[in-house]
Structure 1
Amino acid sequence: MDLSLRYVRLETHPTARSRARATCDIPAGRCVLAVEPLTTSLIPEEKGRRCDACHVIGSKFKQLLKCSRCASFWYCSPQCQERQWKEHHRKLCRSYNRFISHSNFQALAAAQRVDAILLAQVIPLVFPDDNFTWPPADPSPSVGTFIDLIAKDTGLPIDMLPPLNFGKKNVPRDIVSSLFSRFGNNNFLLHSHLTSYAHGVYPLSSRLFNHSCWPNCATRYIIKSGAPVMMEIVALRDITEGEEITIPYADPALPYDIRQTALQMNYGFTCTCALCTLQRDIGQFPPPPVNQEERSRLEYEICTFALPSTRPAGVPAASTPELLTKLPRTLYPLLNSTYLPDISEQFSKASHEGQYSTALSVGRTLLALYTVLYPPNFPQIGMHALELAKTAWNSVVTQDEGSSSPVDQPGTKKDARLYLIIARGILENFGPEGDEGGPLEEIRVLQELLDEAERT
């Protein structure tokens, strides 16, 4: 397999088949590789809201056009409709509604349904002339890379899938099985501003990049009207020549045992990255204290530990989880699997209900935890810092309007500026992605509001 890429070279790996190494030093924020999808499919909640081809959101200025035959696909332009018609919809259009209404399809789990639709879309790409032989003759480079992926038992009997019929030909079951075995462990969840909205097959990314819970890269998705949604692999930190380039297949902040179970079930391997090795050696974290005074003391201490300066997330971009390594054992109860979901819910509820003092206190603790559990510059840290900055600004506005219950410190302009510095540094490193607007635009607007408030 010839892969001549600027920043990446593929080499053999003793257990993971292969790995991608950096061909040179790569600075933080650099796009290591841009990959075009083989095919994508919107999740049900996004159908009719986005263009099925380019994923642009419809609006009164860009109304989506419904396929006049199946009435199940929407497009932002005739060009998008024509492109997808040539790719696969010409084969699927007449049978699509019968396919998704089949009792076998309805019996599938939500994620399996999206995979089944992706499979139906892939078959015309692999066999454009309905010449169902395996391996396919003269495949395109993208299809060839897809066929080269490691097959894995999906755990789903192939008979559970509805029959796939294109015109007068039924797709042989062994062909369906061979293709479907390359799905679940090679698909990606597309997101806009970290909100998932579609599944996609990006064979080159699947072939190149191994998983790490402490990765040096992350994926972003570029949505442009009339164009396929590109996946970009972006460097979270400086990467040295020869270092393996990795991406996360699972959320690094999930508990160790949950990550391992998910990786084993979905991808068939046990992760031994730096984060997993450390958490395995530590073992189970004790439960958080029930006593509120003791709990508050631990929360204060983890903020002091992880956010020690006036710029709360000034953490070096380390290749290993240094903060977790140095975390005092007395703070381990805050890493218990029950604690992070609990304070995440508390922050969201308090912020949306205008309880800004509570939101800022809980949110700061959450930021400290993210700083310990996520690699430096991980986008989730930046998104949470932006939410904290907006919450701090809302508290300032509440005070300025003479609220009958003004919040105490740290609901101030200073806090908003500090959190905005964190958000900007991380999210500008991650770069523009997803739908128009989003966090980078919110940062710009909030900065203008803070600057204006400073002048008045």
Structure 2
Amino acid sequence: MAKNPFAAGSVILSTSSFVNVLLPSEKGQRCDHCHRLSSLGSLKRCTGCVSFFYCDQTCRSQSMDWKFGHRKICKLYNAYTSSTAFQALEAHKKMDALLLSSLVAHLSSVDVKEWDETIPISTFLSLLCGPVEGSAPPICPRHTFDQTLVDGLYARFENNNFSIHSHFRKTYAHGIFPVASRLFNHSCMPNAAMKFIIQTHEPLKMQVVALRPISAGEEICVPYLDPALLQTRTAVFQLTYGFMCSCSSCKVVRKVGIIPEPPAEPAEFQNICWRLREFVKSMGTGTSPFLTGDSSIFPADLACVLHESFITILSDKFSAASFLHDGPYDDVVETSSTLVALYSLIYPPNYPQIGLHLLERAKSCWNHIVRSRPADNTAMLAADLEDAVASARSVLKVIGPEGDSNDGPIDELQTLTNVKNSI
């Protein structure tokens, strides 16, 4: 609960990762300690296992990682990852096994007597176990812990892990942030969201940022998964977290009941898109039924827009019209406007995905200006570009820079701001 009010964009919590592991595809591209993205071949291998990479041989990233627990798995890592038991695991279970290995390696590096005094350890051990029972997968480090303890650690994995992303687009690692897990409940219409801060030689940090003004006494909630998963999220909540979400968005979805597929006939699909845009246009600020929980104002004949295939169809159409096939600009505008309407309906204000799409719309507008430059359309395209850039900036400035330090959405917006003056 918020003890004091928070303005939109305020950092509510900043907390370092307890343990984290890179996806296999990121190995050798990022420092295994601070996650800094480096040019190919510039990172230095650990000479013991040759499978972990660090910023350089003299930086404190390697020494800190060694002290944190890498020394417990270094000589065993390659034999472990090539073992039959590990290779038999599913991809997501392999990530769990690697993360659990890192956790046990760290715990093995800390005196058990100090566990209760170490905030990340004591906080992690206090977290609720997930609803799925099962024994832990095989892990890498040698340890003297009772198997019951290891299984208990693993039981907290499914419902307390975080996917770590850069620029809100690409997941590149998984990690555990016990304080964030302990403090924040979920909502599909959250008033806060997580972002990740990468700093050279420093542990990865998560920041929880207010998406809108939060009053004193109001509960602070974050999304445990993408709120756009309107059909599947109920099952995920029950299977992974063991709860039934009762947020305003879920109340509307449950009231709708069975969600029909969107129409396959093009004219009918186009009519649904038009009706969605008109409905969202008629809503006042803060009156979305998914935000207020008032299902009575949501038109029953628009239920198909909640089908998860609807957003996929729109995204594919937008990509095809804007980049892949040089489609007509009118198609870009119409599809983009429908996506913005859908996002404004199912996401809370200032949610990053809204800003990311507005950025893509701005980039598409610029591409059409560069490719065609029709004299009679230049003014219209310039106005569209100005509006898309301004709208994207108003959303993305709330959450701020995230992930890698360059080439992110805010950098792209600045580039578009610079070039649009040349029109």
Distance 1:322 1:420, change over 3 A: farther
- The aligned runs of 1:259-408 (5 Å cut-off) are 259-307=233-281, 315-316=285-286, 321-322=291-292, 325=295, 326-353=297-324, 354-357=326-329, 358-400=331-373
SS of equivalent residue, structure 1 residue 250: coil
1:366 Cα offset (Å): 1.2
Q: Which consecutive unaligned segments of at least 5 residues does structure 2 have?
A: none
- Does the 8 Å contact 1:214/1:275 carry over to 2? yes
Describe the shift of the 1:410–1:200 C-alpha distance in structure 2 as closer, same or farther (beyond 3 A).
Answer: farther
Find the counterpart in structure 1 of residue 422 from structure 2. Answer: 452
Question: Which of 174, 179, 184 is residue 158 of structure 2 equivalent to?
Answer: 184
What do the CA deviations read for 1:155-204 (whole angstroms, capped 9, x no partner)? Answer: 4433xx225443xx554322211211121111111111112111010000
Aligned to 2:81: 100
Give, in angstroms, the shift of residue 397 of structure 1.
1.4
Partner Cα separation in structure 1 for residue 186 and residue 174 of structure 2: 18
- Structure 1 residues 57-456: aligned runs within 5 Å: 57-59=37-39, 63-77=42-56, 78-128=59-109, 137-152=115-130, 154-158=132-136, 161-162=137-138, 164-166=140-142, 169=143, 171-194=145-168, 195-256=170-231, 258-307=232-281, 315-316=285-286, 321-322=291-292, 325=295, 326-353=297-324, 354-357=326-329, 358-400=331-373, 412-437=381-406, 438-453=408-423
User: Structure 1 residue 231: deviation in Å?
Assistant: 0.4
The CA distance in 1 between the partners of 2:174 and 2:349, in whole Å, is 27
SS in 2 for 1:191: strand
Identity of aligned residues (%): 36
Could you tell me how far 1:314 is from its partner in structure 2?
8.6
Aligned partners of 1:32 and 1:234 also within 8 Å: yes
Distance 1:317 1:57, change over 3 A: farther
**Higher mean displacement: 431-440 or 202-211:** 431-440
Whole-angstrom distance in 1 between the partners of 2:33 and 2:388: 37
- The verdict on how the C-alpha distance between 1:343 and 1:271 changes in structure 2, with shifts beyond 3 A counting, is same
Q: In 2, Cα distance between the equivalents of 1:262 and 1:38?
A: 25
**What is the letter of the counterpart of residue 189 of structure 1?**
S
User: Structure 1 residues 80 and 100, CA, compared in 2 at 3 Å: closer, same or farther?
Assistant: same
Deviations 1:225-279 (A, max 9, x none): 11111100000101111000000001111123x0011111111111111100111
Inter-CA distance 279–129: structure 2 relative to 1 (3 Å threshold): closer
CA gap 1:324/1:129 in 2 versus in 1, 3 angstroms: closer
On the 8 A contact 2:249/2:293 being kept in 1, the answer is no
Q: 1:154 to 1:96 in 2, by over 3 A?
A: farther
C-alpha separation in 2, matches of 1:410 and 1:273: 44
Residue in structure 2 matched with residue 48 of structure 1 by the alignment: 28
Distance, in Å, in 2 between the alignment partners of 1:317 and 1:34 is 31
Taking the aligned partners of 1:363 and 1:290, their CA distance within structure 2 comes to 19
Return the offset for 1:305: 3.0
Change (3 A) 1:151 1:136: farther
**1:291 shift after superposition:** 3.0
1:107 counterpart letter in structure 2: A
Is the contact between residue 356 and residue 395 of structure 1 (CA under 8 Å) also seen in structure 2?
no
Q: Which one has a larger percent helix, Structure 1 or Structure 2?
A: 2
Which AA in structure 1 matches 2:312? P
Distance 1:153 1:176 in 2: 17
1:154 deviation in Å? Answer: 4.2
Structure-2 separation of matches of 1:244 and 1:314: 24
Displacement of 1:138 in angstroms is 4.4
Cα shift at 1:367:
1.4
Letter in 1 for 2:394: G
RMSD of the alignment, in Å? 2.6
